[in-house]
Amino acid sequence: MVACLDECTVSLSPILRRGWALKGSRPVAKINHSRYRFHIIGVRTKKTFVFSFIVKQNQKTFVRFLKRLVKRFPKLIIFTDNASWHKGKLLKIFLQKRKRTLRIYFFPTYSPELNPVEQHWKMLKNKLGNKCLRSVSTTKYHTNNILKRKDLMPKMFLYFSN
């Protein structure tokens, strides 16, 4: 199975998008001045999108997510970005034990346009745009519902077809 992996940070501060207002009126955007945020790690295969909410972006959470993926997909090739937590001692040990079942390759540095998972984050932020969500649990609830919808899954991976 071939997959692409990426992380995203979602904040309680609203994502302001374009909107409609009466001509001559002064539109007001309600905002929540909050520094609370959470992270999402996601993997996109040709037909599915698997994601998980994480507290920190580090090697431990990355390896934990990889363990979950290995259970679901017995043989896996992952393409990911060059984030510092995608490399290191803990990950090297984990990958050495799974040489035949799991491989990780890196996209070129500073090239998010090559990673198809970025389209999921773009779609998510468009759907969350102009909403004033007051708590992390509410934001996670809406995020979960948006990312699980199959009809919103971006059309891609045609270049991986046989």
Domain locations in the chain as residue ranges: 2-14+30-160
Our CA angle for 51, 108, 86, nearest 5°, is 45
DSSP code string of 82-147: --GGGSSHHHHHHHHHTTTTEEEEEPPTT-GGG-THHHHHHHHHHHHTT----SHHHHHHHHHHHH
Residue 17 · residue 129 · CB < 8 Å: yes
What does the block give as tokens for 136?
A: 């992390």
Q: What is the pLDDT of residue 150?
A: 85
What are the tokens at 126? 């468009």
Residue 68 is inside which H or E element, if any?
helix 59-72
pLDDT at 162: 46
Splitting the chain (162 residues) into consecutive groups of 10 residues, what average pLDDT does each group show?
Answer: 93 77 82 80 91 94 95 94 93 93 94 90 88 86 92 67 49
Q: What is the pLDDT of residue 17?
A: 76
- DSSP type of residue 75: S
Listed in sequence order, the residues at least 6 apart from 68 whose beta carbon sits closer than 8 Å to its beta carbon are 50, 52
> What's 2-14+30-160's CATH class?
alpha beta
> pTM score > 0.85 for this model?
no
Supply 9's token pair: 């940070």
Q: How many CA atoms lie within 13 A of 88 on its CB side?
A: 12
